[in-house]
Amino acid sequence: MFRQFISILIFLFWATASQAVEPVAPLHPLDALTADEIALAVMLLKDAGAADDGTVYPALTLKPASKEAMRAWKIGTPFTRTAFVILRRNLVTYEAVVDLTAKKVVSATPKTGAQPMIMDYEWIKARDTFVADKRFKAAIAKRGLKNVFCTPNSAGTFPGDAYEGKRILKIPCFTSEDKAAPNLARPIEGLMGIVDSDSGQVLDVIANGGVDLLPMPTGYGASLPQPGPPTKPVAIVAPQGTNIQLSGNLEIKWANWSLHARADKRAGLILNLVRFTDGTRARDVAYQLNVSEMFVPYMDPDPTWAYRTFMDAGEFGLGYMISTLQPGVDCPQDSYFIDLTFPNDIGGTYKRPKALCIFERATGNPAWRHYSSSGKQVNGVAQSEMVIRHAATLGNYDYLVDYVFTPQGTITMRVGATGFDAIKSTSVKNMDDQGAAEATKYGSLIAPYTIAPNHDHYFSFRLDLDIDGTQNTLVRDSIIPSAIADSKTRTSLWTVRSDRYSAEGPISEDHMSAGESWRVLNPNEKTGLKYNPGYMLETHHQATSAMDKADPPQRRAGFTAYSLWATRYAEGEDWAAGLYPNLSTKDEGLPAYVAQKRGIDNQDLVLWYTMGFRHVPRPEDFPILPTFWHEVTLRPAFFFDRDPSMTFNPGMLPAPQ
Ligand SMILES: [Cu+2]
């Protein structure tokens, strides 16, 4: 998306006591690399001659030891630390592994043709090169504009065009003439630069004279209704302190849950070792949960729009673009607010304050209740849940990513899309104007002279489940309508058929209907009731791409062709669209992983779930997009012998007098 920070409209601000954890030394082998470790990795690479002062580092991240070692690690025992590095030196991409414990470079291998994620220095250089170009200056002068800024975008790959194989950025521009409008609300239509960030050359300037005289989009500023007087406050509070326990650098415990979290430049947040204490046993549920990729393709054929097929994690980084959270707006005042440290592009680090919040939320709903007609009273317990939240701002969009844990053993992953629709200008003021139908063929008129093109949002969650251990099996539960031929009362009912699914690959959409559901179980373990313990995937917002499989953007984002994939765990298979989705010409992610056709029955299984939505913009998206939530839930299924929340006893606020 457009990489430009946005001036947000009016938000209330309350002072808060934030609680920050600043890692100075790793306390757990899965902790993110610290600033000291990143500096050490760079020093070792330079000492070994694998890097120099001009080297840049699109990735410099923890390379965890084997999953087996991570699962077995106990607090207080020693551990080793290793960095995985992608670096660019003299325009060549290398992958390096640095042993930080032994203080040596293990390997540094050139990866010819690999295009790592976009870096700050090249983004700035491309922007500055374009705005200095005389073709750009002429286009701006022709429109009589003075206050103009440009924001380079990832370019996508369109085989056969003039830019194939080049490290290009495509650059739209905006005006800031109207101070009341948010930064990206006034696009200059028909103008785009194409810059080769390796050579520093402006390869092309599209300055379509035919649309130069379009009115600028309107509708922001003084014409908007102003907020009314504040209502009486309603809030989530924890007046006696929090029930959430933080330890180490980022180990989290709440109710029966325990897990480890770390910041990652690309994925945002990575959760590991997610366990539920059942009686005295800490039982494995998931080894790792994280967003593995996003894909946001726009559906407008104009050359200044058609390329907009963003892979926000792999091109920009959900961690790199993480936002500071606003207490009282983004998260309750009583949350833990955690500062996170990320590697920058030049071998250093930067800290994003309050980049993560963790809070317990009373939902206002009963966890369960039953009215007793004999006792004439309600028995019940109030529900609360723990939320781990971060937000990435990718140009016009903000994405809130939540992991929600309940005492009932569910984990819900939610993504809230907010911010602004990407917009373009049009000569049409309202839908009665001549040309309105043509102007809205690929989008909606959301305000006068303002079109928001249609687009998709896909989020791939990588779900490395370990149900009571690593060896798991995928099962499809199907509802089978059945006839009862000899019944004197009923003629039909349904039964459940469970089939083991043994080959890795995408799950056919034919099996993602309402009558089927997917469950991961451990065939080697038995519960008290002698079931194989399992978790089911409760799909709410699965999404698949409507694009043609041969369409160049779709060829880079094969994961969006199916909403569910299953693979056998393998180290390094982390990203749904591969390690190098920026400017990729082929998909080295899920389609390549499953081409190995490994068996997945009673193996270490990883599920990949594509959640998302087709966004047909509406006037109600204007002037700011109300947060639009989508989610998926992991729900225990035959995992426990009873509701595991019976021991959960939430405290209650006194009733008002
Ligand atoms: Cu959208």
Reply yes or no on whether 94 is catalytic: no
Is residue 238 a part of any domain in this protein? no
Q: What is the CATH number of the domain that holds 470?
A: 2.70.98.20
How many Å lie between the centroid of ligand 1 and the Cα of residue 543?
A: 14
Question: Which of 65, 86, 110 is the endpoint of a domain?
Answer: 110
Per-residue model confidence (pLDDT) at position 540: 84
Q: What is the CATH number of the domain that holds 82?
A: 3.10.450.40
Per-residue model confidence (pLDDT) at position 209: 59
Per-residue model confidence as pLDDT tens digits over 262-297? 999 999 999 999 999 999 999 999 999 999 999 999
How many Å lie between the centroid of ligand 1 and the Cα of residue 298?
A: 9
Residues 325 and 186 in one domain: no
Residues 66 and 96 in one domain: yes
Residues 128 and 102 in one domain: no
Alpha-carbon distance values, 421 to 26, 327, 598 (Å) = 40, 25, 41
Is residue 234 a part of any domain in this protein? no
Is residue 510 a part of any domain in this protein? no
Is residue 72 a part of any domain in this protein? yes
Q: What is the phi-psi region of residue 52: left when phi exceeds 0, alpha when psi lies from -120 to 50, beta otherwise?
A: beta
How many Å lie between the centroid of ligand 1 and the Cα of residue 455?
A: 6
Residues 461 and 561 in one domain: yes
Reply yes or no on whether 334 is catalytic: no
pTM of the predicted protein model: 0.94
Residues 536 and 567 in one domain: yes
How many Å lie between the centroid of ligand 1 and the Cα of residue 623?
A: 13
What are 255's strand-pairing partners? Answer: none
Q: Are 155 and 583 in contact (CB under 8 A)?
A: yes
Residues 46 and 137 in one domain: no
Per-residue model confidence as pLDDT tens digits over 346-361? 999 999 999 999 999 9
How many Å lie between the centroid of ligand 1 and the Cα of residue 29?
A: 38
Alpha-carbon distance values, 487 to 425, 441, 490, 491 (Å) = 66, 56, 6, 6
How many Å lie between the centroid of ligand 1 and the Cα of residue 626?
A: 11
Q: Number of folded domains in the chain? A: 3
How many Å lie between the centroid of ligand 1 and the Cα of residue 332?
A: 26
Per-residue model confidence as pLDDT tens digits over 395-434? 899 999 999 999 999 999 999 999 999 999 888 999 999 9
Question: Which of 80, 110, 140 is the endpoint of a domain?
Answer: 110
Rounded CA gap, 126 and 141, in Å? 21
Residues 194 and 88 in one domain: no
Rounded CA gap, 35 and 396, in Å? 30
Residues 422 and 467 in one domain: yes
Rounded CA gap, 267 and 279, in Å? 33
Which three-class secondary structure string do you get for 256-312?
CEEEEEEEECCCEEEEEEEEEEECCEEEEEEEEEEEEEEEEEECCCCCCCCCCEECH
Question: Which of 57, 91, 110 is the endpoint of a domain?
Answer: 110
Residues 460 and 559 in one domain: yes
How many Å lie between the centroid of ligand 1 and the Cα of residue 185?
A: 15
Rounded CA gap, 45 and 42, in Å? 5
Given 397, 403, 458, 580, the catalytic residue: 397
How many helices (H) and strands (E) would you count in the chain? 7, 32
The residue among 429, 428, 404, 427 whose CA lies nearest residue 414 is 404
Is residue 237 a part of any domain in this protein? no
| Torsions phi, psi for 423 (to 5 deg) | -130, 160
Amino acid 457 reads: H
Taking 70 as the pLDDT cut, the residues of the chain under it are 1-23, 209-216, 221-222
Q: At what angle do helices 120-131 and 134-143 cross, to 10 degrees?
A: 60
Residues 68 and 215 in one domain: no
Is residue 487 a part of any domain in this protein? no
3-state SS, residue 42: helix
Contacts of 171 (CB under 8 A, 6+ apart): 126, 127, 130, 150, 151, 152, 153, 192, 193, 194, 195
How many Å lie between the centroid of ligand 1 and the Cα of residue 428?
A: 22
Given 31, 312, 464, 468, the catalytic residue: 312
Token readout for 560 is: 């969006």
Residues 265 and 356 in one domain: yes
Domain that holds residue 74: 35-110
Residues 182 and 44 in one domain: no
Is residue 202 a part of any domain in this protein? yes
**Ligand 1 ion: Cβ-proximal residues, 5 Å cutoff:** 615
Is residue 18 a part of any domain in this protein? no
